[in-house]
Amino acid sequence: MDHRPRYVDCPRCAGPLAQFEGDIGGGSRVVIERDVTICGPCALDEAVRDAKALPPVPLDEWPTTATHLTWDDVPKAPC
């Protein structure tokens, strides 16, 4: 049984949680249990922050209005 809280809006950005039909979002990396569901763009932002060794957006700053990072913000490794 899934005990994760259900939201209509993303608690991290206050935007829509589902970006398309059947979208279930992702678990926030800020919470150890990853049991707080956030929208896909916020989940991607948290993954990019991890990849760039940037600090996460703290829970006490949610909802944030900051622009979401994408993989385009990560420098490409030389081949």
Number of residues assigned to the chain: 79
First-last CA distance in the chain = 45
Over the chain, what is the mean pLDDT?
A: 86
Confidence (pTM): 0.79
Res 78 pLDDT > 60: yes
pLDDT value for 21: 85
User: Cis peptide leading into 63, omega within 30 of 0?
Assistant: yes
Q: What is the pLDDT of residues 25-46, one digit of tens each?
A: 899 999 888 899 999 999 999 9
Provide the 8-state DSSP code for 61.
G
**pLDDT(51) > 80:** yes
What pLDDT is attached to residue 48? 94
Asked whether residue 1 carries a pLDDT value surpassing 60, the answer given is no
pLDDT at 2 (0 to 100): 54
- Residue where the block lists tokens 């991290």: 12
Burial code (b: 16+ CB inside 10 Å, e: under 16) for 9-25 equals ebbbbeeebeeeeeeeb
